[in-house]
Amino acid sequence: MKIAFLTPEYPHAKTGNSGGIGTSIKNLAIGLLAQGVSVRVLVYAQKEDALFDDNGVLIQQIKNVKIKGLSWWFTRKKLERIINELYSNKKIDLVEAPDWTGITSFINPNKCPIIIRLHGSDAYFCHLDDRPVKWKNKFHEKRALKNADVLLSVSQFTADKTNSVFGLNKKFAIIPNPINSKLFQNDSENTDTDQTILYFGSLIRKKGLLELPLIFNKVLEKNPNAKLILIGKDVPDIISGNASTWGMMQKLFSECALKNVEYLGSVPYDGIKVKVQQSRVCVFPSFAEAFPVSWLEAMALEKPIVASNIGWANEVIDDGKSGFLVNPKDHVLYAERIIDFLEDENLCMKVGKQARKKIEEFFDIEVLAKKNIDFYKQIKV
């Protein structure tokens, strides 16, 4: 079987910055390779057309066509020609693309099946964030969903919400994002029981970063030794127009709390693992996700987490067993759950073990690679 992924991002030095979509594609690609599946990744919006090998995954960089006012059309037609050529030459059996901005909206390959996997469209995130969506993005996303041969989603919540947002009644297969649990094993010998709370991810409103200072203020009132470490890119706030979410956050911390906060900015991927292992608890007070890989990484490292209780969360964490789920706007309760972990090392170990167990049983790449392959085999090629 030969699978192609069409994507705007992929985590490699040659292809530029990547977010959750690229990470999930790479995780799945590695798992598929291990099962004998050929994988090609078509990365558009690149600086040049090029081809290179990434440890067995063939990466095809594709440069967008630049024509004023019509770039979107000619780029899609270029992608269509590439897909048709690869399919006719038997180099691929099908193409999978994400829902983000609807790249396949006007791609109509001759016979090659097109799969759309929901990672969260722009319209989806704008809905969760309660802000307007660009009409052209919603138009392309809806058209892509309606024209796809097969539909997948990383969570049932995202599938249901997507149908609601676009006024559709589509059937989605549900296969979560995978993680290679062998790469995320808690091999740290650090037994320090310090009071470090860690957040890693973009500093952006939709991930609850404007609630986190108010939560941490409550934590510090009861635990003056607590320390908050923040890792991730500082993102401009689209609602207020402020150039820095971190700047907005600083004004929300109490004077005392701000002294116990350390913002490290972006940290290399391997460095994040070290910081997770050195922390007591990880926090993710997000309002908008599809199926966050960062949560899986923390759980795989046996780290207890306090996360948002919205929608997708119940598909990742069993509240009270493999983590705590709390509404991010309930600052008092959210702080109490963090304090529970800070003050009870045995609880941390118990929840961390359960989190790791859930990863191994439901979200490990070996389990999910086989589910994806079984799904692909059902598609008429």
Q: How would DSSP label each residue in 248-273?
A: HHHTTS-HHHHTTEEE--S--HHHHH
Per domain, the residue ranges of the chain are: 2-178+364-377, 181-363
What single letter denotes the amino acid at residue 166? F
pLDDT of residue 191 exceeding 50: no
Lookup: tokens for 245: 């979410």
> pLDDT tens, 345-379?
999 999 999 999 999 999 999 999 999 999 999 98
- Amino acid identity, position 201: G
Q: Other CB atoms closer than 10 Å to residue 333's CB: what's the count?
A: 16
Question: How big is the chain, counted in residues?
Answer: 381
For residue range 33-53, list pLDDT tens digits in order: 999 999 999 999 999 999 999
* Residue with tokens 């929608």, as numbered in its chain: 311
CATH number for the domain formed by residue range(s) 181-363? 3.40.50.2000
Instruction: Write down the pTM of the prediction.
Output: 0.90
- Tens of pLDDT, residue by residue over 205-229, are 999 999 999 999 999 999 999 999 9
Superfamily of domain 2-178+364-377: Glycogen Phosphorylase B; (3.40.50.2000)
Q: Side-chain half-sphere of 240: how many Cα atoms within 13 Å?
A: 14
Report residue 272 as tokens: 């994040």
Dist CA 300 CA 354 (whole Å): 10
Same fold, 2-178+364-377 and 181-363: yes
pLDDT in tens, 106-146: 999 989 999 999 999 999 999 998 889 999 999 999 999 99
Nearest-angstrom CA–CA distance, 157 and 283: 21
Mean pLDDT for all residues in the chain: 94
User: How far, in Å, CA of 322 to CA of 299, rounded?
Assistant: 8
Residues in contact with 130: Cβ distance below 8 Å, sequence separation at least 6, in sequence order: none
Q: Which pLDDT score, from 0 to 100, does residue 381 have? A: 55
